[in-house]
């Protein structure tokens, strides 16, 4: 025997077929849903005891602590300090002095080298002398902008900057 339904469209009462006789609404889907078996407790609730909650919180705290320690140990910059040693190795061994490393500092850029022009010098000869054979005089011109326009006329006593030829090579 089929269950009797009410039409959701026109509210016609106690319909036994799959179509409403009043408004021709298809009730087959509603009928299939109503005839499904009923489940008493569809959602099973999980009970968590106090000790389970305590263990979970303890593990969470341990995990956060390990993460913080790892971050502190491995992501912090390493500090280095100066090593102090005794001039006499025998005294050093007896005292058991601790090894201390100096802080690492950036090196200062090298000071530019200068050359004073002598009689008979040319830019090409000076470039070959400091930068090696086959070096063009234009290397010297780039380092000494005051020579523009008088490349062939350098004076005895002019002080020229010598470029760092290793960077250009």
Those residues whose C-beta lies under 8 Å from the C-beta of residue 27, and which sit 6 or more positions away, are 5, 7, 15, 17, 18, 19, 20
pLDDT band at residue 168 under the 50/70/90 scheme: very low
Q: Within 10 Å of residue 49's Cβ, how many Cβ atoms?
A: 8
Instruction: Convert the pLDDT of each residue in 61-97 to its tens digit.
Output: 999 999 888 887 877 665 555 555 555 555 555 555 5
Element (H, E) at 161: strand 159-162
Q: Poorest-confidence range of 33-42, 94-103, 134-143? A: 94-103
pLDDT: is 41 or 115 the higher one? 115
d(CA 162, CA 169): 14
d(CA 92, CA 107): 30
What's this model's pTM, rounded to 2 decimal places? 0.34
């Amino acid at each position: 025997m089929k269950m009797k339904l009410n039409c959701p469209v026109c509210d016609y009462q106690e319909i036994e077929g799959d179509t409403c006789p009043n408004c021709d609404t298809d009730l087959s889907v509603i009928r299939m849903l109503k005839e499904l078996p009923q489940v008493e407790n569809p959602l099973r609730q999980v009970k968590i005891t106090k000790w389970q909650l305590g263990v979970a919180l303890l593990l969470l705290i341990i995990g956060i602590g390990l993460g913080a320690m790892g971050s502190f140990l491995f992501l912090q910059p390493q500090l280095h300090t100066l090593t102090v040693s005794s001039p006499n190795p025998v005294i050093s061994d007896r005292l058991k002095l601790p090894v201390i490393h100096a802080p690492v500092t950036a090196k200062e850029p090298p000071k530019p080298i200068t050359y004073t022009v002598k009689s008979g010098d040319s830019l090409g000869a000076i470039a070959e002398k400091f930068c090696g054979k086959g070096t063009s005089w234009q290397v010297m011109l780039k380092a000494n902008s005051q020579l523009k326009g008088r490349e062939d006329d350098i004076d005895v006593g002019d002080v020229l900057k010598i470029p760092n030829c290793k960077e250009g090579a």
